[in-house]
Structure 1
Amino acid sequence: MNEILDAILASTASEHGSPALGPEDFAALPVPESYRAVTVHKDEAEMFAGQTTKEKDPRKSLHVDEVPVPELGPGEALVAVMASSVNYNSVWTSIFEPLPTFGFLERYGRLSPLAKRHDLPYHIIGSDLAGVVLRTGPGVNIWRPGDEVVAHCLSVELESADGHNDTMLDPEQRIWGFETNFGGLAELALVKSNQLMPKPNHLSWEEAAAPGLVNSTAYRQLVSRNGAGMKQGDNVLIWGASGGLGSYATQFALAGGATPICVVSSPRKAEICRAMGAEAIIDRSADDYRFWKDEHTQDPKEWKRFGKRIRELTGGEDVDIVFEHPGRETFGASVYVTRKGGTIVTCASTSGYTHEYDNRYLWMSLKRIVGSHFANYREAWEANRLIAKGRIHPTLSKVYSLEDTGQAAYDVHRNLHQGKVGVLALAPQEGLGVRDLELRERHLDAINIFRDAA
C-alpha cells in the first residue's frame, strides 16, 4: 500500500515539476492482498437492542479491519481511496437502523455469482470517495489506471427497461457502500466504472470527497426536472440549511436565481448561511417553534406562526418549494406553508418516517409531494461539473482519520457537526491533491466557509 501511496503522491507533485506517472506505471503497481476498511459486523447487529436511537453509539459498532481485496469484475474499477466522508446512511448503518444492512447484502448476493461477493459477514461502508484508479475490469474503456476520480453512489444493473429513462428507476438500483459492500471508507474501494467522475482539480482529496452523495441528492431534489425543477425567482424553504444536504440546496438556490429561506437551529448555523450569501434566515431555537403539542398531536397555530415569519422575510410571498428531509417533525408545517400549486420535495426522514399532514392544505391548494432519492448518473455528473467549475463549493468542516470514523459518525448522529465531515484514507495529511491553484485561489474563501466556522 505504501508503494501505491508513493506513486499517487509523486503523480500529484507533477504540477510542481516532477515527471507525471502514466497509466502503465499505475497498472504495474502491485495490488496488496488486503487493506484497511471501516466495517460493521453481522454478529453484532443486535448489540444496541433495547436502546433508543439517540442512545446508540457508532463508536462501538464501527471497526477498522484488515480485509481481503475483492475480485475485480467486468465493468468495475478498483480505486485507491485518498479520502472519503460520512453521510447519514453511514450513521444508519452503524446503529443498525431502520434495519441491519446485511439484509441488503444478502439480497444482492442472490442476484448473480458476481454479486455474491458482497454477501459477507462484514460490511465495508461509505458512499463517497476521492482517489485514483488502480485497475479496471473487462469492458471499461474511458477510465484508466492513474485517473484521479470521485465516485457517485448509484449502483445499477440496467438489465430492465425500467431504468433506461431514469436510472434511479432500475429495479436493481442500490446505494453503493450502504446497500452494497466494498464502500469508500477504506483504503481501497470497488465501484462500477459508471460511478466514476473526474476529480475537481482545484480541490484537495478531502474536499473533493465531501460533496458526492449530498451534492447529487440536492441537485436532483431541487434543480432537476425529476425533483422540484427550481426556476429563477422561486422562494425555497430549506430545512437544515447549514447541514450536509441543506448547505448544497442553499448554494443551488443562490446560484440558480432563487431565494433560499434557510431554517437553522442556532445563531452559529445562521452565520454560516449568511456567509454562503443567504439573507432570509429563521433560527428555530430563537423563535421556539413547536410543531407538535405532544407525541401524537400537531399544532396548526405553530404552522401559521411559521408561515407568517416566512412571509415577513419574502415580502409577503409563500414558498414555491420546500426542501424536505427532517420528515415527521416538520412535514405538517412544510405542507401548510407551501404556496398554492407549490411543491414539497422530500428525500429523507431523519426525525421519523411516519409523516402526518392535513390533506386539505394539499388537495384544495393543488400542491404536490415529490419523492426524491439520490440522483441518476447524468444528474450526478452535472452536480459534479458545477463543483469542478467553482460554481458550487464543498461544505467540509472537519476531517478525521480512518481510525476515528466512529467518532465522525457519532458527531453526525448527534448533530455536533456543520456541513460535511471528511475522513482521510490513504492521504497522509490534509491539503494534498490540488492541481489548479489559480481556480482554487479565486474560490478559497467559499471553499473554507465551513472550515472557518468550525
Structure 2
Amino acid sequence: MKEIADALASDGFDAAAVRDLPIPETYRGAVVLEDDVEMFDGIPIRDRDPAKALTVREVPTPEPGPGEALVAVMASSINYNTVWSSIFEPASTFGFLKRYARSVPSAASHDQPFHVLGSDMSGVVLRTGPGVQRWKAGDKVVAHCLSVELSAADGHDDSMLDPDQRIWGYETNYGGLAQLSLVKSNQLMPKPAHLTWEEAAVSGLVNSTAYRQLISRNGAHIKLGDVVLIWGAAGGLGSYATQLALRAGAIPVCVVSSERKAELVRSQGAELIIDRAAEGYRFWKDPETPDPSEWKRFGRRIRELTGGDDPDVVFEHPGRETMGASVYVARRGGTIVTCASTSGYRHEYDNRYLWMGLKRIVGTHFANYREAWEANRLIAKGTVHPTLSAVYRLADVGLAARRVHENTHSGKVGVLALAPRPGLGVDDPELRARHADAIDRFREGDPEQTAVAD
C-alpha cells in the first residue's frame, strides 16, 4: 500500500505506470462490525457515539468483477448515512449487505461480518474488471454513490427507480472511507481539475442530491424567481442547495442555527436568512405534540423577509422536527421536496394544509447518473464550489463522524485516505486561483495545515 500511496501522492505520477503497481491483499478501511450491532441498544439516538463503533481495520481487497473498478482512495467525506450506519439506526446495515448478496449473485463478496462505509471519494483507478471501456488505470476520478443493476425495466427511464438501486458504502460494502474502494464503473466521473483531493471528495453525494431535489425534473424543477426555503442552509446538503438556488435565479430563504452559519450563507450570496436558534423557534411543545402556533410565527417571518411571498419550494431534509412547519409554510400549490429525515423519519403534519392548499410532497433519493454528472460538471466549471470545512485523517474517522452527529460542523467534513496531507492533487491552478476565496469559504483555519483530530 505504501508503494501505491507514494506513487499517487506525486503530482506528476505516470498514469501508465499505475497499471503495474502491485495490489495488496488487504487494506485499511473504516468499518462497523456485525458483532457490535446491539452495542447501543437502549441508548437514545442523540447519545450514541459513532466513534465507539466506527474503527479502522485491515480488510481483504476485493477483486473487481464485470463492470467494476478498484480505486485507490485519496480522500473521502462523512455523510449522514455514515452516522446512521455507525450508530446502527434506523437499522443495521448488515441486513442490506445480506439482501444484496442474495439478490445479485455476483455481489456475494459484499456479505461480510464487517462493513466498509463511505459514500464519497476522490482517487485514482487502479484496476478495471471485464467490460469497462470508459475508464482505465491512472484516471483521476470522483464517485457518485448510486449502485444500480439495471436488470429491470423500471430503471431505464430514471435509474433511481430501479428495484435494485442501492447507495454505495451504505447498502453495499467496500465504500470510500478506506485506502481502496470497489465501485461500478458507471459511478465514476472526472475529478474536477482545480480542486485538491479532499475538496473533490466532499461534493458527490450532497451536491447530486441537492441537484435532483431542486433542479431536476425529478424534483422541484425550480425556475427563475422561485422562493426556496432551505433548511440547514450552512450544512452539507443546504450549502449546495443554496448555491444551486442562487445560480438558477431563485430566491433562497436560508434557515441556519447560529450567527457563524448565517455569515457563511451570506458569503455565498444569500440575503434572506433566519437564525432559528436566535429567534427561538420550537416546532414541538413536547416530543409528541407539535406546535402549530410556531409554524404560523415562522410563516410570518418568511413573509417579512420576502415582501409577502410564501415559499414556492421547501427544501426538506431534517424530517420529523420540521416537516409540519414545511407543509404549513409552502405556498398554495407549492412543493415540499424531501430527501432525508436526520431528526427522525416518523413525520407529523396537518394534512388540511396539504390538501386544501393543493400542495405536493415529492420524495427524492440521491440522483441518477445523468443528474450526478451534471452536478459534478457544475463543480468542475467553478459554478458551484465545495463547502469543505474540516479535514480529518482516516485514523480519526470516528471523531469526524461524531462531529457530524453532533451538528458542530458547517458544510462538509473531509477525510484523508492515501493523500498524505491536505492541498495535493490540483491540476488546474489557474481556474483554482479564480475561485480560491469561494473554495476556501467554509474552511476552518489554514487549508494547507495538517488534517485535524480533536
Tell me, yes or no, whether TM beats 0.5: yes
Residues 253-312 of structure 1, C-alpha deviations (whole Å, 9 max, x = no match):
111100110001111111110111111000001110111122222222211111111011
Bigger CA drift: 103-112 or 158-167?
103-112
What CA deviation, in whole Å up to 9, does each residue of 1:334-384 have, x standing for no partner? Answer: 011111111000001111111111111111111110001000000000000
Which among 14, 30, 35 is matched to residue 21 of structure 1? 14
Hey, what does 1:173 align to over in structure 2?
165
- Following the alignment from structure 2 to structure 1, what is the Cα–Cα distance between the partners of residues 319 and 104? 36
Determine whether 1:60 maps to 2:64.
no
Q: Is the 8 A contact 1:272 1:453 kept in 2?
A: no
Q: In the alignment, is residue 331 of structure 1 matched against residue 291 of structure 2? A: no
Say if 2:402 is the partner of 1:425: no
**Secondary structure of the structure 2 residue equivalent to 1:37:** strand
**Corresponding position of 1:414:** 406
Partner of 2:151: 159
**CA separation in 2, counterparts of 1:29 and 1:60?**
35
Which residue of 192, 198, 221 maps to 1:206?
198
Provide the C-alpha distance between the structure 1 equivalents of 2:382 and 2:286, rounded to a whole number of angstroms.
45
Deviations 1:145-200 (A, max 9, x none): 00000000000000000000000000000000000000000000000000000000
Deviation at 1:113, TM superposition (A): 3.2
State the partner residue of 1:269.
Answer: 261
Q: CA deviation at 1:7?
A: 2.1
Alpha-carbon distance in structure 2 between the residues aligned to 1:289 and 1:6: 51
CA distance in 1, matches of 2:382, 2:283: 38
Q: Judge conservation of contact 2:71–2:181 (CA < 8 Å) in 1.
A: yes
- In the superposition, the TM-score normalised over structure 1's length comes to 0.97
CA distance in 2, matches of 1:29, 1:174: 31
- Return the offset for 1:111: 2.0
Match of 1:354 among 340, 346, 354: 346
Q: What pairs with 1:263-412 in structure 2 (closer than 5 Å)?
A: 263-412=255-404
Q: CA offsets, 1:381-408, max 9 Å, x none? A: 0000000000000000000000000000
* Other structure's SS at 1:341 match: coil
SS at match of 2:229: strand
Counterpart in 2 of 1:78?
Answer: 70
Aligned to 2:138: 146
Q: 1:452 deviation in Å? A: 4.6
Is this contact kept in 2: 1:132–1:146, CA < 8 A? Answer: yes
Q: Matches of 1:112 and 1:364 in 2, distance apart?
A: 45
Query: Structure 2 CA distance, aligned partners of 1:53 and 1:268?
Result: 26
How far apart are 1:9 and its partner, in Å? Answer: 2.7
- Of residues 221, 227, 237, the one that matches 1:229 is 221
Q: Is this contact kept in 2: 1:34–1:66, CA < 8 A?
A: yes
Structure 1 residue matching 2:260: 3-state secondary structure? helix
| Counterpart residue type for residue 276 of structure 2 | R
Conserved? CA contact 2:390–2:444, under 8 Å: no
Partner residue in 1 for 2:105: 113
- Where 2:334 maps in the other structure, the secondary structure is strand
Q: For this pair of structures, how many residues does the alignment match?
A: 446
Aligned to 1:45: 37
What corresponds to 2:450 in structure 1?
none
Aligned-residue offset at 1:238 = 0.3
Letter in 1 for 2:2: N
Identity over aligned pairs, percent: 71
Deviation, 1:129, is 0.4
For the pair 1:8 / 2:1, whether they are aligned, the reply is no
Show CA shifts across 1:50-89 (max 9, x none): 1010111111101110111012100000000000000000
Measure, in 2, the Cα distance between the counterparts of 1:453 and 1:389. 26
Match of 2:238 in 1: 246
- Gapped runs of 5+ residues in structure 2? 447-454
TM score, norm. by length of structure 2: 0.97
Q: Deviation above 6 Å: which 4+ runs of structure 1?
A: none
What is the identity, as a one-letter code, of the residue corresponding to 1:249? A
Partner of 2:449: none
Counterpart Cα distance in 1 of 2:360 and 2:283: 21
Measured in 2, the distance between the counterparts of 1:165 and 1:157 equals 14
Query: Secondary structure at the residue paired with 2:285?
Result: coil
In structure 2, give the amino acid aligned to 1:117: S
Taking the aligned partners of 2:348 and 2:123, their CA distance within structure 1 comes to 42
Q: Distance in 2 between matches of 1:148 and 1:330?
A: 40
User: Of 76, 96, 99, which aligns to 2:91?
Assistant: 99
For 2:165 and 2:280, the matched residues in 1 are separated by 40
User: Do the aligned partners of 2:50 and 2:86 also contact (CA within 8 Å) in 1?
Assistant: yes
Identify which range, 83-92 or 56-65, moves more after superposition: 56-65
Inter-partner Cα distance in structure 2 for 1:361 and 1:54 = 31
Which stretch of structure 1 is more off in the superposition, 88-97 or 443-452?
443-452
User: Which of 243, 250, 258 is 2:250 aligned to?
Assistant: 258
Contact 2:9 2:420 in 1 (8 A): no
Distance 1:402 1:198 in 2: 23
* Alignment partners' CA distance in 2, 1:142 and 1:448: 32
Opposite residue 185 of structure 1, the aligned amino acid is: L
Report if aligned partners of 1:223, 1:229 keep a CA contact under 8 Å in 2. yes
